[in-house]
Structure 1
């Protein structure tokens, strides 16, 4: 029997992470490969090696000249990233982009360069050095590493805050697009995007639903930069931009309250408080709806990338990803009942109707 035949099948979605050439009790060492690959990739992104390849294949000497890197270490890191399948190393010694690396070029269409730099930044990396702190105390490991919270840190460190903001503009995921394709936002006359950042999603929503108006509700320093985006899109007359602390109050008078990739940043008590504020804004309008877009976790033992994202929520923010039962619990406590049948295992849109708690 081969090593693969002797090894019990791994849960769906995880098999590629284990080195089946090792004895079963050592196969988890395969996770180390991810650290090595991430470090190599980040180095190349930081020196803009992918930018140097944007116009076609280049030799190591040409890439070194364009990036200011030393040829020998540059070659070794390029070679490793090519072996990992991100770049192509040609027989003539030149390297070139692949479909996997094209998005790491600065300014690439649908690019992820800033998202990659953010998620591999020391401010998100260091908390993983001490996840045990979160296990022992329930406190985010970020707090132990930086002696402050994540959001306080990004406010106090403008460079870190800037990479965070740029990354959030690239934070697009096919699963999110899929849930929007099948949902009729046009049935709502007025939609509030709660925690909507500078308004990129709301711009797309209003473009696609000409009979709908919107309210952009986020922190004052965030929405302060939103007006030019709506002006450029010709939508300023259809949006109200409202500085909002969603722990205190949310603008009233909307038919739907949309909140995307935000509630998972908070623990259950704070997430419930945000939903209570939305419920207060809805008041007696039983036809209004709460629309939540978040990961919806699968059941016990099932592969789900959201369960790994949950460790980041725990370690960095003190937030959490949730199953449908967990969402129903906090939404129910805030005065909502589920009104659709979301599918677990990816990004889901959960629709809730207001009820009396």
Structure 2
């Protein structure tokens, strides 16, 4: 049972608060994000899966102190994540349900990745990144993010699980929205556990796939592709997807990888794809696209994560068009996908005499 999704949610920093109070509510975002992350880490949403429970009962179930747990629940409930009932017990809300491990739209690992450990620590060094251009993550930890992931196996598991959590929803939407059936070979660069490529292949029974990933990820992809029933149509390549670009693909997929890099590195990857795919292959880049103007958009905030954690950045449509053009592609269209993602579809610019 979950609380009524239509129940009003009291968010901090309302439009009728004085400007300085609204700024304070934004600056104090950790007062909201950290309690939610603690509750996610403790597995409170899973413990409430069978119905409401008292704080004392929950505390015993998740290994926490009742008083402190109750305070975190109260804070989270004030913004619609969990809800306190009249009898003092707590229950799930639709938002709290997304913190369950087994939820189809689970974002538990995203919450943990952003609010605990290495990526949380990097934000304490953001000013140095702004002043010097150095990665805040590297300043905080003494090594770049991806090098750190190679060493910190526990955090790598959280990071990779977070990357996979949003792929399933996107894959399910993308497969029927864009007709990939005309492409004989789909090449997914940095395709994680194969969720996206596998879902597309299920919709395209005549197509074959190639997935490029790091060796330890390839083995997980083999399992997932087998579950999807397409492993026999997929070639797995263990390697660095920024360097290892198999030739002969009819469509190349790059999801949420290029935003991790500066323009020079992203351009080098795109040029490798252009050479590998030849004159007829289509390119599908899945990224957020920064819109112009002062309005809110997730891309503008994700861009700060890129600033803090590596040398990457989010880009506007004109910036993508220019970057793709330098690599020998023409941006054909941008297709909105699961928010905040978009699919940039590009074709090779034919060379003279090609």
Instruction: Tell me if both proteins adopt one fold, taking TM over 0.5 as the criterion.
Output: yes
Q: How many Å separate the matches in 1 of 2:103 and 2:268?
A: 39
Question: 1:173: Cα distance to partner?
Answer: 8.0
Q: Does 1:287 align with 2:258?
A: no
Q: 1:160 to 1:302 in 2, by over 3 A?
A: same
Question: 1:115: Cα distance to partner?
Answer: 2.0
* TM-score normalised according to structure 1 size: 0.89
Mapping for residues 1-357 of structure 1, pairs under 5 Å: 18-172=13-167, 178=173, 180-283=175-278, 286-342=279-335, 346-355=340-349
**Residues 220-253 of structure 1 deviation map (CA, whole Å, 9 limit, x = unaligned):** 3321332222223332221111123233341011
8 Å CA contact retained: 2:281, 2:348: yes
Q: Secondary structure at the match of 2:315?
A: coil
Structure 2 unpaired stretches of 5+: 1-10
Question: 1:303: Cα distance to partner?
Answer: 2.3
8 Å CA contact retained: 1:88, 1:97: yes
Q: 1:110 to 1:174 in 2, by over 3 A?
A: closer
Question: 1:182: Cα distance to partner?
Answer: 2.4
8 Å CA contact retained: 2:285, 2:343: yes
Q: Secondary structure at the match of 1:44?
A: helix
Task: Count residues with an aligned counterpart.
Answer: 340
Q: Secondary structure at the match of 1:185?
A: coil
Structure 1 unpaired stretches of 5+: 1-15
Q: 1:247 to 1:234 in 2, by over 3 A?
A: closer
Q: How many Å separate the matches in 2 of 1:150 and 1:235?
A: 32
Q: Secondary structure at the match of 1:148?
A: coil
Q: How many Å separate the matches in 2 of 1:109 and 1:323?
A: 31
Q: 1:356 to 1:287 in 2, by over 3 A?
A: closer
Q: Secondary structure at the match of 2:290?
A: coil
Q: Secondary structure at the match of 1:46?
A: helix
Cα-Cα RMSD: 2.1
